Amino acid sequence: SRPKEVPVYNLTASAVKKMTWKEVLDIGRKIIYDYPFEMTVWYPDGNIRASKFMHNMCVIFLHFLPAYLIDFLMLIFFQKPFMVHIHKRIQNGLLLLQYFTTRRWVFHSSKFLALGEDGNRVDKDLFSIDFSQVVEEQYLKDCLLGGRQYCMKEPLSSLPRCRRILKVLYVVDKLWSIFFYGLLLWLVYSYSETARYVLDTITEYIRTVPVIRTLSKSSMIVEEGLHALNSPPIKKTSPIKSNPLHRHFIE
């Protein structure tokens, strides 16, 4: 006979092991820096934004703008562009998951956890669901290495080369950040009277700080000393002696 209530088993360990998105990102950064992928084209990073506007700004300037730049370089070297296409696919996937990742969900897993108490000793050892013994960092590390080896088909022997490439990408990422924020500040300073007034006011205030004022005076003294050392020596001239005849003529 058909049961009156269909049993539902939520296969989740949230009741035993709770993790936030921030913890996942923090642990994920540490792992990906130690075990980077071969096809890494930009330094991996990521943050959670509480503002949708800031999120969209980061997507435009930190995702799509570098993607268009890389595709432009690919066209210059007669290669097929791919970064913009990849970022569009990533963005579409994030939009689909947005409803679920921006809301709190509670799944009751009492029936699933009760399965660990049933069965014999052999089944418990082979199919253990004791999540209290799981170490989060090791679990995520195994997931990444498994995806790297079996999904991406990347051997562990390529890790030293990938780590060297990651260091280069780190420098590129920092240079891009300096250029981007420097350009943004320059545009704001050039075309905004309010921003220029605020920046000038802050600069004048900083100069009044005793430590900054002392350093400024010290730098001026050093500059004057260097200028004196580099300037040509001044020739000394003998004093003009008076001519008695000339004095007599004048008198």
pLDDT at 159: 94
The answer as to whether 188 is a domain residue is: no
pLDDT at 251: 40
33 belongs to a structural domain: yes
Judge whether 237 lies within some domain. Answer: no
Segment 17-51, tens digit of pLDDT: 888 888 888 999 899 999 999 988 888 887 788 88
Interatomic CA distance for residues 72 and 80, integer angstroms: 10
141 found inside a domain: yes
Residue 5 has pLDDT above 80, yes or no: yes
The answer to whether residue 39 is domain-embedded is yes
Q: What are the distances in angstroms from CA 86 to CA 5, 26, 68, 134?
A: 45, 24, 11, 33
pLDDT tens track for 118-154: 777 788 778 877 787 888 899 999 999 999 999 999 9
Work out the average pLDDT over 215-222. 57
**Does residue 107 lie within any of the structural domains?**
yes
CA distances from 236 to 233, 239, 242 (A): 9, 9, 19
Cα 156 from Cα 38, distance rounded (Å): 10
The per-residue pLDDT for 241 is 52
Query: For the stretch 184-197, what's the b/e string if a residue is b when 16 or more beta carbons lie within 10 angstroms of its beta carbon?
Result: eeeeeeeeeeeeee
pLDDT of residue 228: 59
* Structural domain boundaries, residue 28: 21-154
pTM tops 0.95: no
Domain annotation covers residue 178:
no
Computed over every residue of the chain, the mean pLDDT equals 80
Burial (0-12, 13-18, 19+ Cβ within 10 Å), 47? exposed
Give pLDDT tens digits for 50-74.
888 888 888 888 888 888 988 998 8
Q: Return the pLDDT at 123.
A: 80
pLDDT-derived band of residue 230, with 50, 70 and 90 as boundaries? low
- The per-residue pLDDT for 221 is 57
Two structure tokens written together for 179: 């250029």
Task: Tell me whether residue 246 is in a domain.
Answer: no
Lowest mean pLDDT among 82-91, 138-147, 206-215: 206-215
Task: Report the number of distinct structural domains present in the chain.
Answer: 1
DSSP code of residue 116? G
Predicted confidence band of residue 248 (pLDDT cuts 50, 70, 90)? very low
Give the residue carrying structure tokens 């240079």: 175
Q: Which residue has the higher pLDDT, 184 or 34?
A: 34
Q: CA 162 to CA 170: how far, in whole Å?
A: 12
Output the pLDDT for position 194.
Answer: 79
Residue by residue, DSSP assigns 126-171 as HT---GGG--HHHHHHHHHHHIIIIIS---GGGHHHHHHHHHHHHH
